[in-house]
Amino acid sequence: MTQQAEQAPRPMEIDPQQLRQASGGTRNRPTFVPPSVRRAALAMAGQGLAGQGPGQDIRVPGMRTPPAMPGGPMFGLGRPGRQAHVPRAFQRAGDAGAGRAGATHGATTVAAQYSVDYPDDLWFYDANGGWVRLDPTSENGLELMNAIVSHARQTQRPMYYDTDDTTGDAVDVYMT
Amino acid sequence: MPIQQYELGALQRQIQDRGARWRPGRTSVSELSAEDKGRRLGAEIPNMAELEAAATPERHAQARAGTYPADFDWRNFNGQNYVTPIEDQGNCGSCVAFGVSAAVEGMFQVQRNNPNSGIDLSEAQLFYCYGAQDGATCETGWYPDQALKHVQTQGITSAVYFPYTAGDQSCNLQQGYDQASVFINGFHTAGDVGAMKDWVANMGPVTTCFTVYDDFFYYTGGIYTRTSDQVAGGHCVCVVGFNDDESYWICKNSWGTGWGEQGFFRIAYGQCGIDAQMWLLDGIANTGWLNGANVLAAYASNRDSNAWVWIDQLNAWAELAQSSPEATLAMLEQLLASKDSGRPNNIHVTNDIVDTVYAL
């Protein structure tokens, strides 16, 4: 985690289930953000953190293609049991992820999301690994990723994501 | 010498004398007049004699370039048949249209990994619209290069919009045909048999043309080698497989299921110029409407407007158009909502890019 990420407002390091219990259930006004985090947010206001991501694109330059979908349709293609030959026509999507950097996580479910009155600071709770921030390099990219994360949380469908090795931020997300 | 009408016993002896390994019999075309047999062909191949002479079986022993198994058949790949049903060109020299459309249909099903797509393209559009523009008639025949160029640039629609019947006729496409057009990314020819097999086994069926000799009309099964010297004409078909162990190609003909092996035939390597050159399709261009499509997955990254969805009908990721960030986000949200509710979409893609969404 970089210094930037540490300074940014972030959700508490506790389980969303505990948060729900502490707040008295989902019908009540959430109390997800503790005073300490709120104070940190206020302290850092105006320090120019908004919109700054890792500072570089970890993906291969020019590569705008998503990786193969673990456990997804590519794996339902009748990949041969006895027959070893797999036509290249069937490998198109699988090849697309070549060159991806960073660590891949998933399949997981999104247990919670977090947003705060602070620029580009969106987090989700990986049920297997805790809070993860969405990389804010691109404002539009952040919106798109957040839409998918929201959908994954709403439907509790499996989600996968890649993180930047340096910042730990999620640099892409995909769901089935 | 005219096309011969064979007595089956005599033809059987002729086959035995030549050491050939195929069975003659009465077929859907064997009893036709010489003139009508000629109309079951229809490929104008300018230098076919030269090509045929150069297409020797020895080339197969030398060529092992590429990655392909020793035998391959798209009619049975992992238990699935990716080849569309046999058709009948009837009394018209339109074989080029059938040989090309069969390859496009086959590659479509392979590329989308959907052997039951139900795709049935309009050979009538190919021949009576595009072919007619090029001067092709039932009497003259056509050429694959021309047909494939039309499929690449103008597309070929569903047979629903112009069903095929044999006989020269005007281009009579029903309204809305262009909504169902399929395009190819391009095509190229190959003269190397290793490259041909590599393409067939890895990308999908291809188109080929060869010289038909007059015994071919009597083929009912086995591995065809010619036993006659009487040329009937040039013919185009679709190659769907091969077998190195027994040295034959597996081809889809367009003479109905009453000929050959339920409409297919196996022909020995190097015979009649079957592998002198083949026309290899460079993939199906995903352009057009996908009606009733479902989104199975979604992807986005930390880059501007970089959102993708996995569409069942494409069996692949398709990128959302990037003309405006707001539009990209809106399309993604609509498609995610459809995914969530299990509702279909009518999606228009242009070269694999989603540019219009009707979330239904």
> Which of the four pLDDT bands, split at 50, 70 and 90, describes residue A51?
very low
Question: Is the Cβ pair A136, B302 closer than 8 Å?
Answer: yes
From B242, B264, B284, the end of a domain falls on B284
From B253, B284, B315, the end of a domain falls on B284
Q: Which of B302, B304, B308 sits opposite A135 (nearest CB)?
A: B302
Let me know if B235 is a catalytic residue.
yes
Interface probe for B, chosen from A135, A137, A139, A144 (most Cβ of B below 10 Å), is A144
Question: Is the Cβ pair A83, B78 closer than 8 Å?
Answer: yes
- Within 8 A of A90 by CB-CB distance, chain B residues are 110, 113
The CATH number of residue A169's host domain is 2.40.50.340
Q: Rounded to a whole number, what is the distance in Å from the CA of A17 to chain B's nearest CA?
A: 24
A126 within a domain of the structure (yes/no): yes
Q: Rounded to a whole number, what is the distance in Å from the CA of B157 to chain A's nearest CA?
A: 23
pLDDT at A46: 31
- Within 8 A of B203 by CB-CB distance, chain A residues are 87-89
pLDDT at A38: 33
B1 within a domain of the structure (yes/no): no
* One-letter amino acid of A13: E
- Within 8 A of A92 by CB-CB distance, chain B residues are 111, 316
CA-closest candidate to residue B127, choices B153, B147, B109? B147
B306 shares a domain with B227: no
The CATH number of residue B179's host domain is 3.90.70.10
B337 shares a domain with B265: no
- Per-residue pLDDT tens digits for B142-158: 999 999 999 999 999 99
DSSP B76-107: GBTTB--SPPP-B--SSS-HHHHHHHHHHHHH
Mean local confidence (pLDDT), B36-46: 83
For the ranges B83-97, B133-147, B212-226, B338-352, the lowest mean pLDDT is seen at: B338-352
pTM score: 0.72
The CATH number of residue B301's host domain is 2.40.50.50
- Kindly list the strands in the beta sheet with B345-350, ordered across the sheet, starting from the edge strand earlier in the chain: A103-108, A159-163, A170-175, B295-301, B307-311, B316-320, B353-359, B345-350, B288-293
Q: Would you say residue B91 has pLDDT above 90?
A: yes
Strands B264-268 and B219-224: what pairing? parallel
CB A41 within 8 A of CB A35: no
CB A19 within 8 A of CB A32: yes
B219 shares a domain with B167: yes
B260 within a domain of the structure (yes/no): yes
Mean local confidence (pLDDT), B316-336: 91
B205 within a domain of the structure (yes/no): yes
Distance CA B239, CA B315 (A): 24
Let me know if B188 is a catalytic residue.
no
Question: Is the Cβ pair B308, A65 closer than 8 Å?
Answer: yes
B305 shares a domain with B278: no
A116 within a domain of the structure (yes/no): yes
Mean local confidence (pLDDT), B301-314: 88
B2 within a domain of the structure (yes/no): no
Range of the domain at A34: 1-43+104-176
Answer whether the bond into residue B147 is a cis peptide, omega within 30°.
no
Question: Is the Cβ pair B297, A73 closer than 8 Å?
Answer: yes
CA B41 to chain centre: 16
A83 within a domain of the structure (yes/no): no
A171 within a domain of the structure (yes/no): yes
Helix spans in chain A (H): 3-7, 16-22, 35-44, 92-95, 139-155
Q: Would you say residue B42 has pLDDT above 70?
A: yes
**What tokens appear for A33 in the block?**
């953000």
B221 shares a domain with B87: yes
B24 within a domain of the structure (yes/no): yes
Q: Would you say residue A41 has pLDDT above 80?
A: no
B316 shares a domain with B276: no
B221 shares a domain with B322: no
- Within 8 A of B328 by CB-CB distance, chain A residues are 140, 144
Find the radius of gyration of the CA atoms of chain B. 22
B125 shares a domain with B13: yes
How much of chain B is in helix, strand and coil states, percent to nearest 5? 30, 30, 40
Strands B187-190 and B219-224: what pairing? unpaired
How much of chain A is in helix, strand and coil states, percent to nearest 5? 30, 20, 50
B241 shares a domain with B262: yes
CA B152 to chain centre: 14
Of B129, B235, B236, B345, the catalytic one is B235
- Per-residue pLDDT tens digits for B161-206: 999 999 999 999 999 898 788 999 999 999 999 999 999 999 999 9
- Within 8 A of B280 by CB-CB distance, chain A residues are none
CB B272 within 8 A of CB B213: yes
Question: Is the Cβ pair B302, A141 closer than 8 Å?
Answer: yes
pLDDT at A9: 54
Of B138, B253, B286, B294, the catalytic one is B253
A61 within a domain of the structure (yes/no): no
Distance CA A37, CA A8 (A): 9
Distance CA B328, CA A139 (A): 13
DSSP letter for B236, please: E
Q: How many separate domains does chain A show? A: 1
Phi, psi of B78 (to 5 degrees): 50, 40
> Which of the four pLDDT bands, split at 50, 70 and 90, describes residue A77?
very low
The residue of chain B with its CA nearest to that of A142 is B302
Distance CA B85, CA A89 (A): 21
User: The complex's ipTM?
Assistant: 0.71
Q: Would you say residue B16 has pLDDT above 80?
A: yes
B268 shares a domain with B258: yes
A18 within a domain of the structure (yes/no): yes
CB A111 within 8 A of CB A126: yes
B208 within a domain of the structure (yes/no): yes
Q: Would you say residue B140 has pLDDT above 80?
A: yes
Distance CA B146, CA B207 (A): 13
- Per-residue pLDDT tens digits for A115-174: 888 788 899 999 998 899 999 999 999 999 999 999 999 999 999 999 999 999 999 998
The residue of chain A with its CA nearest to that of B76 is A83
Q: Would you say residue B75 has pLDDT above 50?
A: yes
B294 shares a domain with B245: no
B78 within a domain of the structure (yes/no): yes
pLDDT at B14: 95
Distance CA A80, CA A83 (A): 5
From B284, B316, B337, the end of a domain falls on B284
pLDDT at A61: 25
- Within 8 A of A134 by CB-CB distance, chain B residues are 302
Interface probe for B, chosen from A65, A77, A140 (most Cβ of B below 10 Å), is A140
Question: Is the Cβ pair A59, B204 closer than 8 Å?
Answer: no
Of B92, B95, B209, B236, the catalytic one is B95
Q: Would you say residue A39 has pLDDT above 90?
A: no
Range of the domain at B307: 286-359
Let me know if B253 is a catalytic residue.
yes
Q: How many separate domains does chain B show? A: 2
The residue of chain B with its CA nearest to that of A71 is B297
Distance CA A98, CA A100 (A): 6
pLDDT at B259: 97
B333 shares a domain with B223: no
pLDDT at A121: 87
Q: Which of B298, B302, B340 sits opposite A137 (nearest CB)?
A: B302
Q: Rounded to a whole number, what is the distance in Å from the CA of A14 to chain B's nearest CA?
A: 26
B52 within a domain of the structure (yes/no): yes
Question: Is the Cβ pair A175, B298 closer than 8 Å?
Answer: yes
Question: Is the Cβ pair A173, B300 closer than 8 Å?
Answer: yes
Question: Is the Cβ pair B303, A138 closer than 8 Å?
Answer: yes
Question: Is the Cβ pair A144, B332 closer than 8 Å?
Answer: yes
- Per-residue pLDDT tens digits for B230-276: 999 999 999 999 999 999 999 999 999 999 999 999 999 999 999 99
Q: Would you say residue A64 has pLDDT above 70?
A: no
A146 within a domain of the structure (yes/no): yes
DSSP letter for B11, please: H
- Within 8 A of B69 by CB-CB distance, chain A residues are 83-85
| Partner residues linked to B158 by β-bridges | B121
Size of interface A-B (CB pairs under 8 A): 134
CB A146 within 8 A of CB A172: no
Strands B345-350 and B288-293: what pairing? antiparallel
